[in-house]
Amino acid sequence: MPALVFVALLATDSGGLTAEELAAQLQVSRAAISGAVNYLSPVGLITRERQPGTRRYRYVLQDPTWFELVVRRERLLDRWITTTRDGINALGPTTPAGQRLAESLAFVEFLQREMPAMLTRWRELQTNNPRRKST
């Protein structure tokens, strides 16, 4: 459900909808929407804003969503690497489990090495994109 809510918000021109609008659009209960926004909000993908003159909230996408999400994930990768190394040491690098962890570690370290260059290229593309609105 969080993915559906996130995509519904991405697909709106305004980038925001109320719980009622989300429930109607996705044909689900408001309780399902509540669970989804309770997941998306703390991880920083959406914010809750009070609609002026009402008691209703609009759920709005954070901007720039993808860039910020990747930057936060990079910190998670640091913890993943440390924990995976601990697991390899505990299980032994020659055991089947240790070898699976080592392959996982190699992939995550690859992601971590490549991420800064990818983010730099992304910023350059966005800066030079004539279709992107200037803010």
Chunked into runs of 10 residues, the chain (135 residues) has average pLDDT values of 91 89 96 93 86 88 69 78 95 96 95 87 82 58
Tell me how far apart the alpha carbons of residues 26 and 55 are, in angstroms, rounded to a whole number.
22
Output the pLDDT for position 120: 86
Output the pLDDT for position 49: 92
* Eight-state DSSP code of residue 114: H
Q: How would you class 45 by CB atoms within 10 Å of its CB: exposed for 0-12, middle for 13-18, buried for 19 or more?
A: buried
CB atoms within 10 A of CB 80: 17
Q: Please name the residue that has the structure tokens 């992601």.
A: 111
Output the pLDDT for position 13: 86
CB atoms within 10 A of CB 108: 16
Output the pLDDT for position 135: 47
Per CATH, is 2-61 categorized as 1.10.10.10? yes
> pTM here?
0.58
Output the pLDDT for position 132: 62
Instruction: Give yes or no for a contact between 40 and 46, defined as CB atoms under 8 angstroms apart.
Output: yes
Output the pLDDT for position 67: 66
Tell me how far apart the alpha carbons of residues 45 and 35 are, in angstroms, rounded to a whole number.
14
